Structure 1
Amino acid sequence: MKQSKLFLILCITYGCFSFAISMQERIQLIYLLPNLEAKFDVKFSYAVEDVDGVWVTQPNKNFTLNQVIDFLNKTTVLNFKFLTDRYITVSTLQKKVSICGVLTNQNKAPLLGATLMLSRANKGVVTNVNGEFLIENVDINEDVNISYIGYQTLSLKAKDLRSCQEIVLIEQAEMLNPILISKFLTTGLQKRVDGSTVLNTEKFGILPGLTEPDILQSIQALPGVESVNESIANINVRGGSNDQNLILWDGIKMYHAGHFFGLISAYNPNLTQSVVVTKNGTSSEFSDGVSSIINMFTKNEIGKEINGGLGVNLLNTDVFLEIPINKKLAVHVSGRRSFTDVFTSPTYDTYFKRSFQNSELTSSDNISESNKSSDFYFYDYTAKLLYDVNQNHKIRANIIGIYNHLDYTESDTNTQNETISRTNNLQQQNLGAGFQWNAIWTNKFKTDIVAFYSKYNIDAIDYKIESDQKLTQANEVIETGLKLKTTYKIHKNVSLLNGYQFSETGILNQTTVNVPSYSKTKKDVLLNHALFSEIEFNNGSTYARLGFRANYFQKFNKFILEPRFNFRQTLNKQFAVKIQGEFKNQSATQVIDFQDNFLGVEKRRWILANNQNIPISKSKQGSLGVEFHQHNWVLSTDGFYKFVNGITASNQGFYNSFQNLRATGNYQVKGIEFLANKTSNKYSTWFSYTYSVNQYEFKSFTPSVFPNNVDIKHSVSLAFNYNLLENLEMSLGGVLRSGQPYTKPIEGKETIQNGNNTVVNYDVPNDENLPNFMRLDASIKYHFTWFNTIKNSLTLGVINLTNRENIINRYYEVDTNNTDKTIEVNQKSLGFMPNISFRIKF
C-alpha cells in the first residue's frame, strides 16, 4: 500500500519505539516472508494466525539478513529467532499490546466522542477532539467495536490497531441528528445535537446509590429533572407534574411507570437499548407530554448467536434472552419478578415503610397490628419478534406487561366472639402491544409505520371490617394508535419529515359501595387526528429543525396548531449557542381524590378532557442556552420559560383550602439550569444547579397566584465516578434542594366548621417551605469474567448514606380527640437503604 505521509509506530507493550519513514511501502507480513525466503535462501516457520493481518514497513533493500530480522523484531510484536543459519522461527512474543488510531469520517473530519469497546474485557474509551484514541494492555486477539451514532459500527481485531492508522467510519445517510457528546455525566449518557439526552443502557456506568441502570432513576441525574417525593412515578421536568411526561416504549404509549407504587422503574433495562429524554424543542411527530418525552427503544438488531443474562438483588430476580432463529428472524424476551411475598430483606422493609406510610396498611385504627398482614409482589415481562424481510425492510412486533399486586388482610373479633377476616386487594397493571414496519425504498426515501395498543388498569377492593362495608374502585385506560411517517433526504445536510397520526383513547372510572348502596361509572372516549411536518438541517456547525403539527379532536370539532423550533450554532471549537421552542397539548391527565382513593396508597387516576370543566392542557415553552467544550470539559447553561394552561385544581393534589374546589388555571415557571461536567477515561465528575420560580394562577381562587406544589427554587447535585482499577469503579454523589411548599393552619384558629364537619382552617396556600432536602448516595461495582465469555458484575449501592430524615410532604388533619386542634402529618423519604446485585451476562 502506497503511503504519502509519515508513519509513526507508537506504543507497543514493551516500550514505545519510533521509526520514521517517508514515502515507503507497507506490506502484509504473510506476503513479505516468501520474498525474504527467496532473497536470502532461508526458511521461516510460523503459524498462519500469528502473522495474518500484520502489516510492516518494507525493510531497506540494502539490509543484510541479520539487519532484516533485527528490524522485524523491533517493529512487530513477533519474535524472529534463528534455529540455524537457514531456519528461522516466528512466534508470538506478546499477548498484550497497545492500540491507537485516529477516527475520521469520509470528509477526513475527526470524530469527537466515538466509542471503542473491548468485547471481552468490558472496557472502552472515547475519542478526543482530534478523533484520537489509545488503549493500553489489550489482548492481541481482542475484538474492538467502534461505534458512533450516525455511522456504521465497525469491528476490528486489536492486532490490526497497533500502528495508529487513520480509520474511516461510513456515515448512515438517514441520520441527521448525531451524538454531540458521547460521554455525558457518565458512560452511556450521551447528548444529541438537538439538545435531547440519550441513555445507552448497555454501556451505562454506575450512578450514586444505584445497583442497576434503573431507567427512570438514572434520568434524574439530568439538570431540571427531579422527583420532589423520590418517586420515579412522580418525575418533575422543569416544574411540571408527573402526568405531563409522555412515556413511550418502542412506540407504545405507557400510562404506568413504577413498581412498588412508584419507587422502582417498571421498565427492565436489559433489553432496553436506549432512552431519549427531550425537555424542549420536540420533534413535531410527538404530541402529549407537555413537560417532556421519555422515549425508550429496545434492541433492534438480529444477532449471530444467543445472548442473555440474569441477575438478582435484594428485591427481585430477572432474566433476558436474545435468540436468533436464523439470519432473518430472532426473538428477544425478558422477565422480572420480586420475591417480596416469599422473603423480606432490609431493602424491602425500607421500601415498604416509605411506600405505605400514612396509608391504611400502617396507620393506627381499631385493628391491632397483630391482626394485620400484607402480601405484596410485582413482575414485568417483554417479548419482541424481529424479522428482516431483506436489508431494507424490517418488521418488529412487541408486547410488554407490568403488574403490581397487594393483598392486605385485617382480622377482628365480633360481639359473638367470632373471628372475622377480610382481605383488601389492590392491582395495578399496564399491558401494551406494538407493531413496526421500517422500509428503506431508496438511499434518500424511507417510511415507518407504527401501531400500538395500550391498556392500563388499577383495581381495588377495600373492606371496612367494623361496618362490613365493601368499596370497589377501578380506573381503566385503553388507547390505540397508528402513525405513518416518511423521511426524504433532500440533500446530504437536509431531510424532510412528514406524517399522520391517529389515536383513540377511552378512560373509565368506577366506584361502588355495598352499604349504603352506591354505584358510579363514567366513561369517556376521544379521537384525535394529526398531521405533522418538519425540515431538519445539519452541516456540522449549524443545526436547525423547524416543525409544525396540526391536531384535530373529532369529539370537540377542535383544531390545535403547534409550531416547534430547535436551533444550535457552533461559534468556534469551544462555544455554541442553542435556541429551542415548542407548543404542545395533552388530553389525558390525572386527578387526585383524597376522599376516594385506592387503600390510601394510590390516589391518582386518569381522566380525559371534556373541553368544559376539564380542558385540553396546552403548553408554550422557550429556552436559550450556551455551551462550552474543551479538554473533555462541558459547561452548559440554559434559561427557560414554560407556560401551561388548562390544568385543573383536582390534578394538583392540594393540601389547603382549595383541596375540594373545582377550577381551571395555569402555571408558569421561569428558571436557569447550569451544568459543569469533566470526563476522562478513568473518571467523570459533574456539578449541576437549577434555579426556578414556579407559580399557579387560578383566577377563581383567593389569592389567585401562589407557589406551585413543586416550586423547588434551588436544586444542586454533585457526583464523582472513578475507575479505581480496570474492573472496579465507584460512584459518590449527593443532592441538596429547597423543601417544597406546604400550607399550615391559621395559628390560634386551626379548625372551622363546614356544615356538620370540622375541617382544617388553612392559612395562605403554599406560603411555607419544608426543610431542605439533602441526600448522599454511593455505589461500587466490580466486574469479572468466567471462562473468557461470561461477564459478571457485583454492585453494592446505598441510598441515603447518612440516614438523614428528610420530610418530603406535610399536611394536617383534625385531631379527633380535640377538634379545635390539628395533627401535623409528615411524609418521610427513604432512610438508609443498602442494596446489592449480582449479574451474569453471556
Structure 2
Amino acid sequence: MRIVVTFLFFCIFSFAVKAQVLRINGCVTDIKTKEVLIGATISNNEASFGVVTNSYGFFSFEHPKGNVQLLCSYLGYETVVIDLCLTKDTTINIQLSPIILEISSVEIIANKSNTRMDKGLGIITVPISTIKNRPKLFGESDLMKSLQFIPGVQQTAEGKSNLTIRGGSPDQNLILLDDIPIYNADHAFGFLSVFNTEALKNVTLYKSGYPARFGGRLSSVIDINTKDGNKEALAGSATLGLLAGSVNFEGPIVKDRTSFFFSARRSLIDLYLMGLQEQANADDFETNRTNFSFSDINAKIHHKISDKTSIYTMLYNGRDKLMNRTGNNDISINQDDIPDRNGNSVLNNIPNQKISNSISEQDWKWGNTIYAIRLNSAVRSNMFLNTTVSYNKYQYETTVDNSFANDSVNVIDALNYSSGVNDYSISLNCEYTPSNKHFLRSGLQFIYHDFFPEILLLHSSGNEATTPNTQPSQKVLSREYSFYIEDIWSISKKLKANIGTRFSLFNVDGIMYNAFDPRLSLRYMLTNKLSIVADYTHMEQYIHMLSNNSLLLQTDLWMSSTSSIKPMRARQLSLGVNQTITSQLTFSFASYYKNMNNVIEYKDGASFSGTSSGWEEKVESGIGRAYGAEFSLEKNLGKTTGTLSYTLSKTEKKFNKINSGDWFPSKYDRRHNINLLVMHKLNSKIDFTLNWVYSSGNMITIPVNSVVTPDIPYYPGKFDELTQLENRNNYRMPAFHRLDVGINYTRKKTKNKGGIWNFSIYNIYNQKNAFKLYEEVDVSRNDVGKLVYTKKLKQVTLFPIIPSISHTYKF
C-alpha cells in the first residue's frame, strides 16, 4: 500500500510540474527543396539547453511560459533566430538557407549548445560536400573511401572500398541504407562502393558507443540516409567520368505534399572495352575477352498524408557483372594434356590430334536488391513512431564452362556456384521525450533470414553426355527477434549519458541463441572546452562471412550461425578526451580495447572450393582482441580546413587448431596509420583538396614449402597446391603510402543551373604500392654449373599515377 501511495504522489507531482511548462515541437527543412535536415540543432539564446532533429527532421522539447529566443543551426546553413511568446504548446516548422561561400559561425553555435544528443568521440557525421570534394579515382567520388580518413578506419587493400574498423573484418560492419542492411558494398571488384553520392543526404559512422537501437554486427555502424526528393521544383544533375556516368532527378508530384527522387548510375568502360579487344586480337589464334560492368538505381517516393504523418517507398538495386572468355583454335595436344577431375586423361586410346575448338568461359554476377515501405507519425507533440517493412536480397553467382572439341571428342566441364541471402523484416520504433532531461527510444524488430548456397556440376566425356551431378542447395532458415530501449539522459549541465540495452533471440535448426547487450556512453564537461568520454559496448553477430580472395575478385559466402558455429560476440571499452583549442581548432584522443569471441577462420589447407558442402568442417572458431589509440587534430572553419590523424593499433586472433594454438596477428593488423586531409576554398568557383595516407602493410602467410597435386574439384586442367605452414600471417607486406590531389571548378550559368568540373590525380608521385605478393622461382647456375632454384617474393601493383576528369551538370 505504501508503494502505491508513493507512486501516486510522484505521478501527481510530475503533472503539477509539467503544468508550469509548455512544449515546442516541429520540423527543420531546407528552404529550397523542403528536404528534412537530420541533426539540426535547436537551442535557446543562452545555450542552456538544446536538442537536435531526428532522422526525419522532427524535434520536441519543453520550455517555461513567456518569451523565448531560439537559435536553429546546421552545418553549411545560415543560423535562424526565432522569437516566440509561449502561451500554449506550439508547433513550428523551421526552414534554413544554405550558405553559398563558406562555413560561418554556425558550427561554433552548434558546438557550444548544450544538446542532449552530443556525440561521443566514436560517432562521426561526414558532410556529403566533403565526400564530393575529395580527389577522385577514375572520376568517381566514393563514400567508403572518404571514411578511410577517419582515425581507426582503414582500407583492406589499395583502392578497395572495404573497411576494417578498430580491428574488425569488413563483414563486422553494419552498413544501413535507410535502416536496411547492405550485405555487399562493392562495385568494380571492390574499387568503388555501391553508394551514389548524389543520392545521399546524411552519413554517420559509429566506431564505439553504439546506441542500443543498432545491433547485429561487432565493429561499427555506418548509418546512411538517402534523399526524399525536392518538394518545390523539378531539379536534377548528370555526371560523366572516366569509369561511369549517372543521372539524378527529383521533384514534386504534388507540390508540398508528394515528392520523388531517382538516381541511376552505370559503368561506361564496358561499352568500348570489348571492341578494343576484338581489334587487338583480330589476327591471333587465341581469342581473349574480358569485360565488366556495374549499375545501381536509387528511387524513393515520399508522401505527406498529413502534417504529422508521412509514408515512404524506397527501392535500391545494384548489379555487377564480370566476364572472361578465352578461346584457342587449331592447337596440337597429346592425350595426356586434358586431365579429368581425378587427373586421368579424358582422351583414352585416342592418338595425338588437334583440338579444333577450345573455349573457357567464366561469368561472375553479384548485387543487392532492397524494397522498403516506411510509415512515420508524430502521434503526440513529444512522441514519434516509425514502422518499416522491407525485403533485402543479396546474391552472388559464378559460372565456369570449359569445353574441348574436335571431330571425335567433346569434353565439357562446367561449374555453377550460387550463394546469397534473403531477408524479410518488419520493425517498429518509438521516440519519446518526457522532459528535457530524458530522450527515450525503444523498438522491436523481426527478421526472417533465408540463406541459400548451391553448387551444380555438369561433366561430359567423349560424345556421350553424362547426367548432371548436382549438390543440392543447403538452405538455412533462421529467425531473428530483437528489442531495445535507450535513454539519452542529461544528468546535469556537465554530465550526460546514453544508457540502453538490446535483447535478441536467434532461432536456427531448432536451436535458440539469445543475447543481452548492455550499452553505456558517458560524456563529462571538465570545462567549456574540454570533455571526457567513456563508452562500453556489448555486440552480438549471428551471421558469418567466408571469403576467397583472388587477385581482383572477392567471393563472399554469407552463412548463418548453426548448432556447431556459435554467434560472434564482442565487448569494447573506449575512453577519450576532446579539447577545443581555438574557435577553429579541435584536438581529440581516444583509446579502445575490444575482445571478440567465436570469430571464424579457415583451417590450414582449407579452401573456398565446395564450401557450401560442409563449410562448418572447414572453419575453426576462436577468439580475438584489438586495442589501440587514435589522435586527431581538426580545423573545421575558414577557407582552409582539414584533419591530421594518427592511429596506433594491434589486432590478434587465437584458435586451438590453428598456429599451434598461439596468438597470431590478424591479416588486417596495420600497426601505424597516418591520414592528412587539406581542403582550401580559393574563391566561389575554385576549391582545392589534398589527401595523403601512410599505413603499415597487411599481414599475409608465406609458406615454407609447397607441393603441387592434380586434385581440385570440378575444374579440369587445374591443380591444388598443398603448402607447409609454420605460422599464420607470418609476413608483413611493405608499407603503403600515397598522395592524391583534386581541383573543383564550379561554373554557374543561372541561379539553379551550372556545372562542376573535377580534375584529380591519384597517387601523384607514382608510388608502387603492393596490392598482392606472390612467390616466383628464379633458376640460375652456381659456380660448378648446377641449377639453383631460389624462391623470391614478387609484388603486384595495380595503381600507378592516374589522372582523371569528371563533369557534373546541375539543373
Change (3 A) 1:620 1:816: farther
Contact 2:603/2:619 (8 A) holds in 1: no
- Is the partner of 2:144 in helix, strand or coil? helix
Distance 1:421 1:295 in 2: 45
Distance 1:371 1:477 in 2: 36
Displacement of 1:769 in angstroms is 1.3
Counterpart of 1:574?
Answer: 529
Distance 1:314 1:166 in 2: 37
> Are 1:839 and 2:808 matched, yes or no?
yes
Distance 1:764 1:166 in 2: 54
Contact 2:131/2:143 (8 A) holds in 1: no
Q: One-letter code of the match for 1:382?
A: N
Alignment equivalent of 1:429, drawn from 363, 367, 373: 367
Q: Deviations over 1:81-123 (max 9, x none)?
A: xxxxxxxxxxxxxxxxxxxxxx993243399999xxxxxxxxx
Contact 2:148/2:155 (8 A) holds in 1: yes
Contact 1:194/1:567 (8 A) holds in 2: no
Q: One-letter code of the match for 2:440?
A: L
Distance 1:672 1:282 in 2: 18
Counterpart of 1:631?
Answer: 583
Counterpart of 1:336?
Answer: 265
Alignment equivalent of 1:478, drawn from 397, 422, 442: 422
Q: One-letter code of the match for 1:335?
A: A
Alignment equivalent of 1:763, drawn from 720, 726, 750: 726
Counterpart of 1:314?
Answer: 242
- Is the partner of 1:371 in helix, strand or coil? strand
Alignment equivalent of 2:630, drawn from 673, 683, 705: 673
> Are 1:218 and 2:181 matched, yes or no?
no
Within-5 A mapping of 1:49-88 = none
> Are 1:646 and 2:609 matched, yes or no?
no
Displacement of 1:482 in angstroms is 1.2
Change (3 A) 1:593 1:266: closer
Counterpart of 2:46?
Answer: 108
Distance 2:78 2:243 in 1: 34
Contact 1:399/1:434 (8 A) holds in 2: yes
Alignment equivalent of 2:763, drawn from 784, 800, 805: 800
Change (3 A) 1:111 1:132: farther
Contact 1:194/1:566 (8 A) holds in 2: no
Alignment equivalent of 1:463, drawn from 380, 390, 401: 401
Q: One-letter code of the match for 2:266?
A: R
> Are 1:561 and 2:535 matched, yes or no?
no
Alignment equivalent of 1:592, drawn from 543, 547, 554: 547
Q: One-letter code of the match for 1:645?
A: N
Counterpart of 1:535?
Answer: 487
Displacement of 1:152 in angstroms is 6.3
Q: One-letter code of the match for 1:198?
A: T
Distance 1:197 1:540 in 2: 23
Q: Deviations over 1:36-75 (max 9, x none)?
A: xxxxxxxxxxxxxxxxxxxxxxxxxxxxxxxxxxxxxxxx
Change (3 A) 1:712 1:170: closer
Counterpart of 1:246?
Answer: 174
Alignment equivalent of 1:255, drawn from 183, 194, 211: 183
Contact 2:452/2:476 (8 A) holds in 1: yes
User: Which deviates more, 203-212 or 825-834?
Assistant: 203-212
Distance 2:376 2:221 in 1: 22
Q: Deviations over 1:235-265 (max 9, x none)?
A: 1001111111111111221111111021111
Q: One-letter code of the match for 1:770?
A: M
Q: One-letter code of the match for 1:322?
A: E
Change (3 A) 1:705 1:195: closer
Displacement of 1:430 in angstroms is 0.8
Distance 1:489 1:604 in 2: 43
Distance 1:713 1:578 in 2: 24
Displacement of 1:344 in angstroms is 5.2
Counterpart of 2:716?
Answer: none
Counterpart of 2:799?
Answer: 830
Alignment equivalent of 1:498, drawn from 433, 442, 446: 442
Contact 2:697/2:733 (8 A) holds in 1: yes
Contact 1:543/1:569 (8 A) holds in 2: yes
Distance 1:435 1:304 in 2: 23
Displacement of 1:654 in angstroms is 9.0
> Are 1:291 and 2:219 matched, yes or no?
yes
Alignment equivalent of 2:748, drawn from 776, 779, 785: 785
Displacement of 1:821 in angstroms is 7.0
Percent identity between matched residues is 21
Displacement of 1:816 in angstroms is 13
Q: Deviations over 1:630-684 (max 9, x none)?
A: 221110010001111111113999999xx99531112101100000112332001
Contact 1:665/1:698 (8 A) holds in 2: yes
Counterpart of 1:139?
Answer: none
Contact 1:461/1:471 (8 A) holds in 2: yes
- Is the partner of 1:275 in helix, strand or coil? strand
Displacement of 1:685 in angstroms is 2.5
Counterpart of 2:123?
Answer: 196
Displacement of 1:459 in angstroms is 1.1
Contact 2:635/2:641 (8 A) holds in 1: yes
Displacement of 1:428 in angstroms is 1.0
Contact 2:401/2:414 (8 A) holds in 1: yes
Within-5 A mapping of 1:22-421 = 105-109=43-47, 145-146=78-79, 153-155=94-96, 178=117, 192-193=119-120, 195-201=122-128, 204=131, 206-209=133-136, 211=139, 213-300=141-228, 302-326=230-254, 327-343=256-272, 370-413=286-329, 415-416=353-354, 418-421=356-359
Contact 1:106/1:169 (8 A) holds in 2: no
Distance 2:97 2:542 in 1: 50
Alignment equivalent of 1:662, drawn from 619, 625, 631: 619
Change (3 A) 1:394 1:523: same
Contact 1:309/1:321 (8 A) holds in 2: yes
Displacement of 1:824 in angstroms is 4.1
Counterpart of 1:93?
Answer: none
Distance 2:127 2:493 in 1: 23
Alignment equivalent of 2:497, drawn from 541, 544, 551: 544
Distance 2:803 2:661 in 1: 45
Q: One-letter code of the match for 1:460?
A: T
- Is the partner of 2:148 in helix, strand or coil? helix
Change (3 A) 1:651 1:157: same
Contact 1:449/1:484 (8 A) holds in 2: yes
Change (3 A) 1:755 1:155: closer
Contact 1:568/1:576 (8 A) holds in 2: yes
Displacement of 1:745 in angstroms is 3.1
Contact 2:216/2:542 (8 A) holds in 1: yes
In the superposition, the TM-score normalised over structure 2's length comes to: 0.75
- Is the partner of 1:342 in helix, strand or coil? helix
Distance 2:314 2:620 in 1: 40
Q: One-letter code of the match for 1:621?
A: Q
Q: One-letter code of the match for 1:721?
A: M
> Are 1:699 and 2:661 matched, yes or no?
no
In the superposition, the TM-score normalised over structure 1's length comes to: 0.73
Displacement of 1:619 in angstroms is 0.9
Displacement of 1:789 in angstroms is 2.2
Displacement of 1:410 in angstroms is 1.4
Q: One-letter code of the match for 1:524?
A: V
- Is the partner of 1:343 in helix, strand or coil? helix
Distance 1:436 1:685 in 2: 37
Q: One-letter code of the match for 1:272?
A: L
Counterpart of 1:184?
Answer: none
